[in-house]
Structure 1
Amino acid sequence: MKVAYVFATNMASTFKLATMILPQLEDGEHGAQVVGMMFFDDNLFCLRQGDPVGERLARLAKEQGILLMVCDQCAVRRNLAEGNFEQCGKGQVKAKGLVEGVVAGCFPQLYAALAGNPPDYVITL
């Protein structure tokens, strides 16, 4: 079974990702193949360069081919992307200051990025 996670609620990345999902993935005990993760609002902060959770996740994502995407508008608002609001949703915003492999985008970019390896389930946390 393939899943994609959407981190949309308060503390989803610092609690659910950092203390449950990430350790299970690292130990090979998660029970599902994760194909993508999308981060909204303050959940982006765990992906900043040097953040221990983000660095662990980036390493794992590279090994397992997991898409890591941040909401382009959320990233622009937090100075974690290059671009402006008019470019949001068009694939023109570039992530900055985040761990290796993270891309910025909106739903059109998320759908396109997952099209080649679509999840069976999308789980919003």
Structure 2
Amino acid sequence: MLERRFVCSLDELPPGAMKLVDVGKFGVGVYNVAGSLHAIVNYCSHEGAPLCEGLIGGTNESAPDEPGGLRRIKDGQIVRCPWHNWEFDVTTGQNLADPKRRVRTYRVDVADGQVYLNA
């Protein structure tokens, strides 16, 4: 059964920010991606690193029509594992290199300006 846990006030989690919540065995990172809230387990599916300690940013995709042949995408949506640089989309939990690999995601909601995690 899911438990609804208070995370913080919405003002404390501006776009681009992450708040680590002490829940479960590894914790859960709650992210604000351009005003949309998402949560993932703090555990890399590769070798168990504390995933939410990784850098949050974007990634590159091939763009032959762009100078340098690359285009920056998904800014503020990709967390990079601090151990081996595996990239995960915090909005879906999917690994960018291998979409069959993923990390667990959780539902987040806001009520009266307060952020709650359902874990």
TM-score > 0.5 by shorter chain:
no
Q: Say which structure is richer in helix.
A: 1
> Greater RCO between the two (CA within 8 Å, min separation 6)?
1
Q: Which has the larger radius of gyration?
A: 2
Higher strand share: 2
